Amino acid sequence: MAKRLGVSRTLNFVSKSVEETLRLGTALGVELEEGDFIALQGELGSGKTTLAGGIGIGLGVKMKLASPTYLLCREYVGRHLLFHLDAYFEGRMEAVLAEGLAERLAGPGVVIVEWPEKMEAWLPSDRLAVELDGVGMERQISFKALGPHSENLLARFRVAVEKFDKNT
């Protein structure tokens, strides 16, 4: 598993491969519950879609997650309904949210958003903010809880990663 750097309301890792990033996402996905909101922030090529793919695996989604860039939102069925959004095209995302997607996302399911900074006004205050930094194989990944619900998620994720580390 990726090397852990620190704990508190934030959990930091260094991932040295695509496989480690996928495993982190999978460990997080296993812990997700309905209503969880994951905001993935990072430059192009930083591993946002790779981490999202691992989350999908952890949620039991049978198909590989694809980047929702041009569709804005992809919906997957797993243990929970999964909405995977890409807000890169800010104006288009704003219009789709205003036309009803926001209400759909407020229902049952888990939401992952790439480029959350482009839809700041629509983000819930309680979310797990994930910052990915680095291009290539090695990247720093920081998970930060921004409220009580996401703090609970982060605590469960921390335990899951520790158990995984002991078994490998």
Contact in structure between 109 and 82 (CB atoms under 8 Å): yes
For residues 40 and 113, the answer to whether their CB atoms sit within 8 Å is yes
How far apart, in whole angstroms, are the C-alpha atoms of residue 42 and residue 132? 5
Render each residue's pLDDT in the chain as its tens digit; 168 residues: 555 544 468 999 999 999 999 999 999 999 999 999 899 999 888 888 999 999 999 999 998 887 766 556 777 889 998 988 887 655 655 656 555 555 666 668 898 988 888 777 777 889 999 999 987 788 999 999 999 999 999 999 999 888 766 665
Report the predicted TM-score, pTM, of the whole model to 2 decimal places.
0.82
